[in-house]
Amino acid sequence: MKKLNLFVLLIATIFISCSKDDDQTPETIEITEKNLIGKWQLTKIEEDGKQITLNPCDKKDISQFSIKEDGSKLAIFIGNSEINGECTPHQSTDYTWELSNNKFSTFILTGDRRNAEDLYTIIELTKTVLKTESRETYKDDQGNEKTSVYIETFTYIGKPDIEPSTVVNPKESNLIGKWQLTKSITDGKENSLNECELKYTLEYLSNGVVNWSDPYLTQPDQPKGCIESTGSLFWVLVDNNIYLKEASTDANEDPEKILELTETVLKTSYTHESTPNTFHETIETYKKI
């Protein structure tokens, strides 16, 4: 009987201990920039209180936040879509981000304008969990304005594995050489480049001239291939901005801003207008050849 009582007591003790462990939830931490830095993987989305079913590709979406050496903040998003039965990742352009109390925003900075901006409220932050709330206003089929509330939950999976862009103080000598286009992103969406567009090059010369080559595809009724189109412009570098001009005496107009410049990589951004007062930002990445 004593052995039985001891056994019951042991089981009860284990049960109580396990129950206490189960009741423990991760301790919340202070909402600071430092505690947001990391790689966060999507695990759950709720829309107006109802959970949205995520497919395996959705659950591979990742948000990464870091702070560069110069103090500026970098946000990169990896989305996934199913193509031919496989999850294909798509990386966003470089965003920046801000934190004010528990309000968190991500945006593309074009000059003095903030584009593609999204605002979130952080409702939970632990060492392993990030939960945010956002609102989207739209008009229904009857034209009535509606607002939906989204709550997204993320799990921390480690330090950012994408290095922040290395922005240098570019000198003219850093640009001298031939650069070939490898990637183009407009308003956060990657452009699909054909084989000819991927042969686009810029060659900066020390005499202030830049030679460009812009091959384009032949017409469907012609043999398949690339037809080369070439030309020259004048260029001048002012701070982090490249100004391209028809003549050396022309006034400086809208520049291409240097976002990254290393021995092998050149990344620039420029703003263009499609319709009156409708502006777009394109970011182009080149490799040195």
Question: Which pTM does this prediction carry?
Answer: 0.51
Question: Band of the pLDDT at 249, cuts 50, 70, 90?
Answer: confident
Token reading at 100 = 């004010």
**C-alpha closest to that of 278 among 187, 205, 202, 215:** 187
State the CATH number of the domain containing residue 49.
Answer: 2.40.128.20
Coil, strand, or helix at residue 79?
strand
Same-domain pairing of 48 and 127: yes
Average pLDDT over residues 45-68: 92
How many angstroms from the chain centroid is the CA of residue 198? 22
Q: How far is CA 240 from CA 73, 176, 259, in A?
A: 18, 15, 8
Give me the amino acid identity at 255: P
Higher pLDDT, 161 or 46: 46
Give me the amino acid identity at 212: W
pLDDT in tens, 173-226: 889 999 999 999 988 888 999 999 999 999 999 999 999 999 988 777 777 889
With beta carbons less than 8 A apart as the criterion, state whether 74 and 96 touch: yes
User: What's the domain count of the chain?
Assistant: 2
Token reading at 194 = 């054909």
pLDDT in tens, 118-130: 999 999 999 999 9
Domain span at 102: 33-158
- Boundary of a domain, candidates 158, 191, 212: 158
Same-domain pairing of 178 and 221: yes
- Boundary of a domain, candidates 158, 193, 214: 158
